[in-house]
Amino acid sequence: MTHSLFIDGSWRAGSGGRTGDVFDPASGTRIGDVAFAEAADLDDALAAAHRAFAGWANTSAYERAKILRKAASLARERAEDMAQAILRENGKPLAEARMEAGGAGDHIDWFAEEARRTYGRVIPSRQPNVEQKVILEPVGPIAAFSPWNFPVGQLVRKIAGALAAGCTIIAKAPEETPTSAMLLVGCFEDAGVPAGVVNLVFGVPSEISAHLIPSPIIRKISFTGSVQVGSLLGEMAGKHIKRATMELGGHAPFIVCEDVDLGTVVPLAVGLKFRNAGQVCAAPTRYLVQGPKFEAFLDGFVAGAEKLKVGAGTGDGVDMGPLTHARRIDVMSELVEDAVARGADLKTGGARIGNAGWFFAPTVLANVPEDARIMNEEPFGPIAIVNRFETLDDAVAEANRLPFGLAAFGFSKRTDRTHAMATRIETGMMSINHFGLAAPETPFGGVKDSGYGSESGAEGIMAYLTPKLVSQLNG
């Protein structure tokens, strides 16, 4: 599929003819290619996003919302095609791929509705006959970078948020999983979004960011990915005075107090860890369990991990698919070896499964010392740490020890404990006694090294708007 760039309303190949390989992670075989953009293609995308901005920003919010709602309907109609593409290129089980693709319409609809609620305000003046109002204007053309772990879920928030606000966008979607991103962009195209408003590119990520971010046409960056790359792009955004939203890595604590019912907590704990083979920025990594429940939780968690059926996402009853990248297999092995060498107990898993495809066994490490790499680095894979704590103060201190602050989970029947966790843990998102993250209507984002800004929720559209004061003397 070499016509994978969408620039100024047309699908095309890269002008230099360069392409990248696309793999099936379940077999490790090459299944396609993706066109790479050259500087000339990026210049065309910049010119298109610039040209289209005036028209789109001046299209009424009512009209933009109508077009977005049409895109949402198309996304629902085409959800199965997107799910099959996610399954093939990302590797997650079909049920997960369907849930991701099926949610795209809801995200677009949310932003369509928010477009109509971008209210400004009137500020009482100090002088008679002066009217002071604040109006919200679209920031301008956006450069967005979205990753491969949720090829549709991450991209849709950026495109729909930008378009709802009246911005145009150049999205660099993941080279590993291009097809579902193309199908998603096709929904906006067929809904009648004017040429140049949405542009889709693939290529060498560092070339694309180095070209787009300094361009005076681009007014804002939105990036989802690792802390390292986020820091690099943030530096560029700072140098060129560009607004930025950064959704970076996490290392979520999952605190289990001694008063909980393990019968409900353990299955949820297992499900959250191994969803998308652990390649989720908000996935729990450090399970911190209060002394009296430690052994029972650990036994239940290990049993749950061992019961998971690992295989190609197409298989019947498969719970966990492969890792999306071959290179992540080595990282997983290194993290396990390092933890064990430092004294951690490997309770289950710890190794690659087979040699076709990129499968890594659901892995549980217990009693992991603080100096182990995995206690400090985001695994972004199917490895869980289960450690013991005695007092809630200890658990909160451990939760806050790392520079990450994306998601945290807390379980207790006592409201003094849940309140303490909700208020004292340094995190952008806190989920208590259930899993409650990532709905279109709730803000998604982190603090500390996990980034800044929110996607989704009422905050999601604000990220693409800028306030303008209009002060007018009447009469």
449 binds ligand NAD (CB under 6 A): no
Who's near 343: CB < 8 A, 6+ residues apart? 367, 369
Neighbour-count burial for 436-450, b at 16+ CB within 10 Å, e otherwise: ebbebeebbbbebbb
Q: Give the start-end residues of each E strand in 391-448.
A: 407-411, 429-432
Of 54-62, 246-254, 417-425, 431-439: span binding ligand NAD (CB under 6 A): 246-254
Find where tokens 């772990």 sit: 149
Among residues 248, 257, 269, 332, which is the contact residue for ligand NAD, using CB under 6 A? 248
From the CB of 434, what's the least distance to ligand NAD, in Å? Answer: 21
C-alpha span between 277 and 295 (Å, rounded): 25
Which residue, 61 or 447, is less far from ligand NAD as judged by CB?
447
Which residue, 36 or 148, is less far from ligand NAD as judged by CB?
148
Per-position x/- string for 183-222, each x denoting binding to ligand NAD as judged by CB under 6 A, each - no binding: ----------------------xx--x-------------
Catalytic residue ranges: 247, 281
Q: Between the CA atoms of 394, 400, 404 and 410, what dihedral angle is there, to the nearest 10 degrees?
A: 60
C-alpha span between 467 and 204 (Å, rounded): 35
Which residue, 105 or 225, is less far from ligand NAD as judged by CB?
225
Among residues 10, 58, 60, 228, which is the contact residue for ligand NAD, using CB under 6 A? 228
Per-position x/- string for 370-409, each x denoting binding to ligand NAD as judged by CB under 6 A, each - no binding: --------x-x-----------------------------
Site for ligand NAD in 272-331 (CB under 6 A): 281, 325
Find where tokens 């301008």 sit: 140
From the CB of 244, what's the least distance to ligand NAD, in Å? Answer: 12
Report CA 81 to chain centroid distance, whole Å.
Answer: 21
C-alpha span between 381 and 362 (Å, rounded): 9
Q: CA dist 356 to 48, 177, 232, 348, Å?
A: 43, 19, 34, 21
**DSSP three-state, residue 183:** helix
From the CB of 176, what's the least distance to ligand NAD, in Å? Answer: 8
Residue nearest ligand NAD, Cβ-based: 225
333 binds ligand NAD (CB under 6 A): no
C-alpha span between 252 and 108 (Å, rounded): 28
C-alpha span between 462 and 303 (Å, rounded): 44
From the CB of 297, what's the least distance to ligand NAD, in Å? Answer: 26
DSSP letter assigned to residue 98: H
Which among 211, 158, 202, 186 is positioned nearest to 21, based on CA atoms? Answer: 202
Q: How many residues bind ligand NAD (CB under 6 A)?
A: 22
Which among 66, 67, 55 is positioned nearest to 141, based on CA atoms? Answer: 55
Beta bridge partners of 106: none
From the CB of 470, what's the least distance to ligand NAD, in Å? Answer: 37
Which residue, 302 or 320, is less far from ligand NAD as judged by CB?
320
Report residue 129 as tokens. 């006959």
Which residue, 72 or 248, is less far from ligand NAD as judged by CB?
248
Of 4-12, 17-25, 247-255, 363-371: span binding ligand NAD (CB under 6 A): 247-255
Which residue, 195 or 232, is less far from ligand NAD as judged by CB?
232
Among residues 84, 118, 149, 168, which is the contact residue for ligand NAD, using CB under 6 A? 149
**DSSP three-state, residue 407:** strand
From the CB of 245, what's the least distance to ligand NAD, in Å? Answer: 12
Which residue, 426 or 449, is less far from ligand NAD as judged by CB?
449
229 binds ligand NAD (CB under 6 A): yes
Which among 239, 183, 231 is positioned nearest to 214, based on CA atoms? Answer: 239
Which residue, 249 or 321, is less far from ligand NAD as judged by CB?
249
351 within 8 A of 382, measured Cβ to Cβ? no
From the CB of 224, what's the least distance to ligand NAD, in Å? Answer: 5
From the CB of 412, what's the least distance to ligand NAD, in Å? Answer: 28
DSSP output for 423-435: HHS--SEEEESS-
Binding site for ligand NAD (CB under 6 A): 145, 147-149, 174, 205-206, 209, 224-226, 228-229, 232-233, 247-249, 281, 325, 378, 380
